[in-house]
Amino acid sequence: MKKRIAIIALGLAATLSAIGQQAIAQETRPIKDLIGTVEVPVDPKRIVVSDGDFILQPTVALGLKPIGASRPSGTGEYSSVVAERISPDMKYIGEQRNPSFEDILAMEPDLILMSNDDVPDQKGMYERFSAIAPTVLINREQLVWKQTLRDIGAATSRSAQAEELLARYETRVKEVRAVIGERAGTASVPRIRPDHVRYMLQDKSFIWDVLKSLGFHAPEKQQKTGDVPFVRLNLESIDVLDADLILVLEDPGAKGAGGMVEKVSELPAYKALSGNRLTLSTSEYLFGNVLTALELLDLIEAHYKKS
């Protein structure tokens, strides 16, 4: 038994040594993250992303192909704009809040991108990641998605590409605003979950950041901000969702016979909502970064061109 443990220990030491030699051989440069200064590879090739919701999309938007990532904890599945850009060989590292450090070690990453999500032990997780490869801690708050893209660009030597994407977004905002014109009034973003309905807050959510850039604002009846980015509704209060434009987010688990989508759609108060509705998939549009933002602009532009 002791001999077996010794062999395993030697194998682990050899693996760590090989990874260390690989890191030493790479040219590095210092950058600043939320913790301090980190030496990162000038041209990282083997990136692991710990946050499949907020960090993976801007990473692949920059043309990078991570070798490992967590599955999205917020929606359960990748949006199509992410799924079509990740490598078919990308491995899963487990849940964002409970990743498999052994699996990550075996991947031999040269850079780990970690978010400041509310993990049980952020400092401890950062230290364990840093023992494997240079780790950059990035702000993933929904309203700073542009800075998130810039931070990942800075960490991966792709700042120019990040600025090009943001410039493209700003150009599209101007184009879509021109199409909408004076019709940019109130908007509402309800999310139908399997067991309840909520609406997203104007001053706390990603999707609203895009809507506000087009000149929309929430109805007077709706709460604008709070500790979390949504307000849970009683079905008796569905009328609070009414607005000129209603973007309805539907969870996959809320669909089907007898599901919450069906129940809500049969409510007289829901049928009485007067706004123009666009029905969207939660996994596609609830969270995101520049790719989702550009898709939202396309959808809203097409809607107003038809109306």
Any bridge partners for residue 77, and if so which?
none
pLDDT tens track for 154-184? 999 999 999 999 999 999 999 999 999 999 9
Token pair of 153, please? 């660009």
Interatomic CA distance for residues 237 and 188, integer angstroms: 14
The reply to whether domains 23-157 and 181-306 share a CATH topology is yes
Which CATH homologous superfamily contains domain 181-306? Answer: Nitrogenase molybdenum iron protein domain (3.40.50.1980)
Query: Rounded CA gap, 95 and 76, in Å?
Result: 10
- The predicted-structure confidence for 29-61, as pLDDT tens digits, reads as follows 999 999 999 999 999 999 999 999 899 999 999
Task: Write down the CATH superfamily of domain 23-157.
Answer: Nitrogenase molybdenum iron protein domain (3.40.50.1980)
Give pLDDT, residue 62: 98
Rounded Cα distance between 208 and 227, Å, is 16
**CA geometry: angle 130, 136, 141, nearest 5 deg:** 130
For the stretch 64-91, pLDDT in tens is 999 999 988 767 788 999 999 999 999 9
pLDDT at 229: 93
